[in-house]
């Protein structure tokens, strides 16, 4: 994967550095999900570009033309936030039936400047999602498990057993079993369940565990709760895997980030749908 442009390597390194110090990721990513329904352009960007904006302390960033279209202008002397735009090319392939098909492949990234809302002035913007601390504290995450037909139970944790586990069988039965009263363990297993719905839990064990640990930390941060996640070894796994398959660490970081955010989004969207359709007692 090639990186084009003066700032591109620096931007890619910021993503990698976030995984080198993963304890900062949940706090950076939580606002993305809290504001995920805001009608702003960056909510439609890739997860890694939304992360780059969040790491700069903003929840809304746009290109200069996008700000002008919104009736705002960038303040003189403001520094840009650089994000990554994909470089794609179309390749033609001959199918076994003789038909020709086309598909796009990603061969690199280039850097693109955007500016945070805090560095603009002009017409007032519509208010975003200000429900933080209300709907997030009331999310029925246990109802998500029920909606997915997951049996939630407990067992006696005797020191050697895992703190919790998610299991599924070929006939569709699913269960989350908890050996401790710990919200991080509960959310960790729920993220595994979401990962199962999205990917059927295909892939390496280390990747699934990073997704579950980081995902649970994001969920709890969204709800204003403390988390107990072991994120320390995440980058070592990523670096080792990148060396094994001979790809750039930034590519693996982006893949892990995408997987994690898809799981968190599925859980939160399901929870919010359940809350909206709940019949008052």
Mean pLDDT of 165-185: 86
* pLDDT score of 135: 44
**pTM of the predicted model, to two decimals?**
0.85
49 pLDDT tier (thresholds 50, 70, 90): very high
Does residue 120 carry a pLDDT above 90? Answer: yes
3-class secondary structure for the chain? Answer: CEEECCCHHHHHHHHHHHHHCHHHHHHHHHHHHHCCCCCCHHHHCCHHHHHHHHHCCCCCEECHHHHHHCCEEECCCCCCEEEEEEEEEEEEEECCCCCEEEEEEEEEEEEEEEEEHHHEEECCCCCCCCCCCCCHHHCCHHHHHHHCCEEEEECCCCCCCCCEEEEECCCCCEEEEECCCCHHHHHHHHHHHHHHHHHCCCCCHHHHHHHHHHHHHHHHHHCCCCCCCCCCCHHHHHHHHHHHHCCCHHHHHHHHHHHHHHHHHHHHHHHHHHHHHCCCC
- Residues 58-74: tens digit of each pLDDT: 989 999 999 999 999 99
Rounded average pLDDT over 83-111: 87
Banded model confidence at residue 276, pLDDT cuts 50, 70, 90: confident
pLDDT at 132 over 50: no
- The least confident of 82-86, 213-217, 225-229, 270-274 is 225-229
Mean pLDDT, rounded, of the chain: 87
């Amino acid at each position: 994967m090639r990186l084009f442009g003066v700032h591109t390597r620096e931007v890619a390194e910021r993503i990698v550095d976030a995984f080198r110090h993963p304890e900062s990721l949940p706090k950076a990513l939580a606002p993305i999900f809290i504001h995920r329904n805001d009608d702003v352009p960056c909510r439609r960007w890739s997860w890694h570009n939304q992360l780059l904006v969040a790491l700069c302390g903003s929840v809304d960033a746009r290109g200069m033309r996008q700000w002008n279209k919104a009736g705002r202008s960038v303040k003189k002397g403001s520094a840009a936030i650089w994000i990554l735009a994909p470089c794609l090319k179309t390749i033609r392939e001959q199918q076994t039936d003789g038909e020709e098909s086309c598909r796009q492949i990603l061969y690199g990234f280039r850097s693109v400047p955007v500016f945070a809302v805090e560095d603009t002035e002009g017409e007032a913007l519509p208010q975003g999602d200000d429900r933080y601390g209300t709907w997030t504290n009331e999310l029925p995450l246990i109802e998500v498990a029920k909606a997915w037909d997951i049996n939630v139970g407990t067992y006696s944790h005797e020191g050697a057993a895992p703190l919790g586990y998610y299991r599924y069988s070929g006939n569709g039965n699913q269960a989350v079993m908890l050996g401790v009263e710990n919200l991080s363990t509960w959310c960790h297993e729920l993220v595994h369940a979401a990962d199962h719905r999205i990917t059927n839990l295909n892939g390496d064990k280390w990747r699934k565990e990073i997704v579950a640990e980081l995902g649970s930390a994001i969920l709890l941060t969204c709800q204003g709760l403390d988390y107990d996640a072991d994120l320390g070894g995440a980058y070592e796994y990523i670096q080792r895997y990148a060396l094994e398959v001979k790809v750039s660490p930034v590519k693996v970081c982006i893949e892990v980030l995408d997987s994690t955010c898809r799981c968190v989004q599925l859980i939160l969207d399901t929870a919010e749908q359940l809350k909206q359709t709940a019949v008052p007692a």
